[in-house]
Structure 1
């Protein structure tokens, strides 16, 4: 199965690069990108999972409604993207359920940071997709963690997909910077080994991030954003469908695993 997921959040990433960005711009940029994503998914008639912060959901109710009415899954990305307290786990789940009218079963920690699995279970989640089982300098070292799905503390863990041998991450930065044919080859090999692919992106990638003065992003973040990202994702989904790979929400995948 192809498990496409998107972390929809207030676009606070410029702060990491010493740039200020207004809250209104944080929301509008993510709204623009999420709209582009939904248009692509509708074009190809595939379903995906959207991990949303409550902050974003409260400020983009029309998009949350479109996500749910289009048959996609809504999952939790916390209350806020840049602040976390253990009580936010249950609070965010309940708030998103109230906003969407859909049961929220999944969680993903902002920036794929560690989270206590017992607290995730206590907050009522069925699964957690917060592990990138690789090593990223300055971010995390998860080489000791399982590469594929497993259960821990009563919660299904669904790590992001990495290649079988070298654990090369197939996350959003790889998608932007590798030649598309090479990314597709690695994706195909990973799918053959695991029988699923769990890859994640963000709405702001589908907007133009090349204004260094405004955002402060290095070239590897700016590369293939905006219209180029939309085109690449369009081609990638078409390629996946051409391979005959089925698409599913994460909730659907977990139901089959159980």
Structure 2
């Protein structure tokens, strides 16, 4: 089983590189990428999970409605992408449920930063997928953390997928910088080990990132835009040929939670 997650947020990453980008353009770029994702998922017959900031949803309720209409899950990515307060956990859940008209049971912290699991439970989430069980310089070192799902404070934790043994991350940057044959090989190995894959991406990756105004290094902008769209299509087609189904994260979580009761 493969869980595809897309973090739909205001595109504020250029700010990390000292660049300015108007809020309206941040929303526009994220929306452009999201529409490309929705098109490719519809074409492939795949359902996915969109982890949205409440801030994005407030500005683009029509896109949230499109996600829901096409059978995808809406989960929380916080209230804002670059500002976090504990109270945002519940506030974002309430706002996203109001806008989407669907239950919001899952959470992913912006930039996969640590978050208090007791507060996640208190806010009423059933699952949390805010941990990448590997080492990313300048971000986190989670080699000592479990690499497959587990429970913490009665909340199901679903770490991002990594390869067995060396824990090479199978996430958005990997798809920019590693050839598809190696990605397929590592993905197959991780799926055999864990019984599932949990992969995450961002809509802005499906747009042209090779622009000086963003200030991105080559390892971020490489193979972005239409090249990224085609790579994702090829990966999905490979997975389907291999018999690896796709599932919304909430459905996957519900199966595990029911089996443990």
In the superposition, the TM-score normalised over structure 2's length comes to 0.98
> Helix, strand or coil for the counterpart of 1:240?
helix
> Helix, strand or coil for the counterpart of 1:75?
strand
Separation of aligned partners in 2, 1:176 and 1:184: 14
> Helix, strand or coil for the counterpart of 2:246?
coil
> Helix, strand or coil for the counterpart of 1:68?
helix
Q: How does 1:230-241 map to 2 (within 5 A)?
A: 230-241=229-240
In the superposition, the TM-score normalised over structure 1's length comes to 0.99
Separation of aligned partners in 2, 1:241 and 1:54: 32
Provide the aligned length of Structure 1 versus Structure 2: 257
Separation of aligned partners in 2, 1:93 and 1:228: 34
C-alpha RMSD of matched pairs (Å): 0.5
Deviations 1:94-132 (A, max 9, x none): 000000000000000000000000000000100000000
Deviations 1:113-163 (A, max 9, x none): 000000000001000000000011100011111000000011100000001
> Helix, strand or coil for the counterpart of 2:91?
helix
Alignment correspondent of 2:217 = 218
Alignment correspondent of 1:82 = 82
Alignment correspondent of 2:162 = 162
Alignment correspondent of 1:141 = 141
Q: Is 1:93 paired with 2:74?
A: no
Unaligned runs of 5+ in 2: none
Separation of aligned partners in 2, 1:130 and 1:79: 15
Alignment correspondent of 2:204 = 204
Deviations 1:174-205 (A, max 9, x none): 11100111111100111111110000000000
Separation of aligned partners in 1, 2:179 and 2:71: 31
Alignment correspondent of 1:246 = 245
Q: Is 1:25 paired with 2:25?
A: yes
Following superposition, which runs of at least 4 residues in structure 1 exceed 3 angstroms of deviation? Answer: none
Separation of aligned partners in 2, 1:149 and 1:224: 30
Separation of aligned partners in 2, 1:94 and 1:113: 22
> Helix, strand or coil for the counterpart of 1:6?
strand
Unaligned runs of 5+ in 1: none
Alignment correspondent of 1:117 = 117
1:26 Cα deviation from its structure 2 partner? 0.2
Separation of aligned partners in 2, 1:39 and 1:63: 12
> Helix, strand or coil for the counterpart of 2:252?
helix
Separation of aligned partners in 2, 1:202 and 1:104: 19
